[in-house]
A and B are shown apart, each in its own frame.
Chain A
Amino acid sequence: MKQFRAICEEVGGTVQLLIRSIGYFATLPLQFGRFVEQCYLVGYTTLPIVSILSFFIGSVLALQAGYSMQDFGAKEFIGSLVGLSMARELGPMMVSILLAGRVGSAIAAELASMKVYQEIDALETMNIPPARMLVMPRLAAVIVMMPVLTIIANIVGWFGGALVASRVKFIDLDSDTYFAALRRFVKFKDVMDGLVKAEVFGFVVVLVCCSIGLKTRGGPREIGASVTRAVVTSLILILVLDYLLTQMLLWISPSP
């Protein structure tokens, strides 16, 4: 019962933070510098790791698909398999997991340390709401940067698959055939569904990490505990939301 109450308080606090932060979106032009700084942290600094991982995920997908399909002569569909997997599932999922590990942990650590060392209290006494100065610019940045990161992850993953498909001897599929299959089967809707998922995951990760960071109480040890809790909660939410969103997107407009 006590744990259930704690979860309800946590969810309620996060929803309150969300409502307050949305209310401050009108102040975005006044905080443009902070917004750009957060875009840099969320987008630019995450880009190298996103590119590396998506390249190898695309490559491994092509490798596995080539190995499995060679026996029944379906190698020419490798492009469609890699394309659809990256666009609909692996691109958004992988970017969001990286976001939770890299950006979410940093956000939780920063806000938790500000809370523990009374910087948040100082902001409140100065009548500067933390939701306006610390949360809203981060949410705005993730809304802008998630689609960009996901599109880049998809493209890099597709090219990783193409490279492996053309270079690995037992597959030996030329790039034209690979991309022809990819273009034939990957529809605009598939990419859009992936982007919707990435947007929701990214937003939830940043909101949850901000909320957990701002609720930290105690000393330096609790900063570490908050970071762990923020990342673990984000990962669980990504996986749960992934299922629910996939179901919902398929229900809204089922593929032909």
Chain B
Amino acid sequence: MPARLQISHPATTEEVPAIGVKIEGLTKDFGPLHVLKNVSFEVTPGEIFVLMGPSGSGKSVLLRHIVGLEQPTSGRVTIEGKDAALEETRQHVRLGLVFQAGALFNSLSVYDNLALYLREHRIGTEAEIGEKVRHALQILSLENTAEKFPSDLSGGMKKRVAIARSLVMRPQLLLYDEPTSELDPIMAATISEIIASLKEQYHVTSIVVSHDRELALNIADRIGILMGGELIFVGPPAELRKSNDPRIVDFLNPKFDLKNPRFKKLET
């Protein structure tokens, strides 16, 4: 299990201000498919914002707009007032994205995966890079995996390495795409704790895309619910629990009706 975060390392104590994200009237169409419909919300610096919604509701597409991997059909995503779609924005703000499948570089060892960003941007000497990498590995209890390759790791380990890789970048904005999917409940809780601890220790702004109810209700400052490309709720977890919207109630507490299953309703 990952150790409690102890941020005392000189290489990681540098203060980096957290940043905010603003999404204004974001619409995205893929041909005739309307994936996002006029979505607007704001994430304040240092906040953990969890974006929930059923599969195919457009959560990951929204996340890709924030990191500038997709161009909006209309609307705007700004990070600290800068257009997220522009390459210059990524040069001015440090943002990390933890991909759903990890997106680790398969040809590189875990150590080299973590060191890549620092080496490419010439941040420190090789000794300093080594210190930062080892520290990030230590935070996530991955010291023994440094020489391994991604193909040798379990699903949970890959997720943790992906988080560690983002961590060495000292991001101001950290985005997670389904960080607990395909994990057992204990590992999912561990990853949720890591996300919350990172916010506490690094004051990083976190946007988490997930349909993990436990993660959202336990670590989020605010939760957004995206359904069919529309944002139907934004508010703190306590408010979400009280919601009477049948779509939200059904999403959070789905009833099992074996005599009249949902897929039969969909067929008709």
Contact = CB atoms under 8 A, between A and B. Distances in A.
Contacts of A119: 103-106
Interface string A107-146: 0000001100111011011111000010000000000000
B169 A117 contact: no
Interface string A78-114: 0000000000000000000000000000000000011
Given A117-B106, A121-B69, A127 B91 contact: yes
Nearest to B96: A125
Contacts of B120: 126, 128, 133
Interface string A10-36: 000000000000000000001000000
A125 B173 CA distance: 11
B116 interface: yes
Interface of B: 64, 67-69, 90-91, 95-97, 99, 101, 103-106, 116-117, 120-122, 169
Interface residues of A, number: 14
A136 to B, nearest CB: 13
Contact of B121 (A113, A124, A127): A127
Most chain-A CB neighbours within 10 Å: which of B69, B116, B120?
B120
Interface of A: 30, 113-114, 117-119, 121-122, 124-128, 133
A125 B105 contact: no
A118 B103 contact: yes
Nearest to A129: B87
Nearest to B107: A110
A121 B177 CA distance: 13
B143 to A, nearest CB: 23
Contacts of A125: 67-69, 90, 95-97
A113 B103 CA distance: 11
A198 B68 CA distance: 39
Given A125-B95, A126-B116, 17 more contacts: A114-B105, A117-B106, A118-B99, A118-B101, A119-B104, A119-B105, A121-B69, A121-B103, A122-B97, A122-B103, A122-B104, A122-B105, A125-B97, A126-B120, A127-B121, A128-B120, A128-B121
29 contacts: A30-B122, A114-B105, A117-B103, A117-B106, A118-B99, A118-B101, A119-B103, A119-B104, A119-B106, A121-B64, A121-B97, A121-B103, A122-B97, A122-B104, A122-B105, A124-B67, A124-B68, A124-B69, A124-B90, A125-B67, A125-B96, A125-B97, A126-B96, A126-B116, A127-B121, A128-B116, A128-B117, A128-B120, A128-B121
A200 to B, nearest CB: 30
A118 B91 CA distance: 20
Contacts of B103: 117-119, 121-122
A121 B117 contact: no
Contact of A121 (B96, B99, B122): B99
9 shortest interchain CB distances as A-B pairs? A118-B103, A122-B103, A125-B97, A127-B90, A128-B120, A125-B67, A126-B117, A118-B99, A119-B105
A218 to B, nearest CB: 14
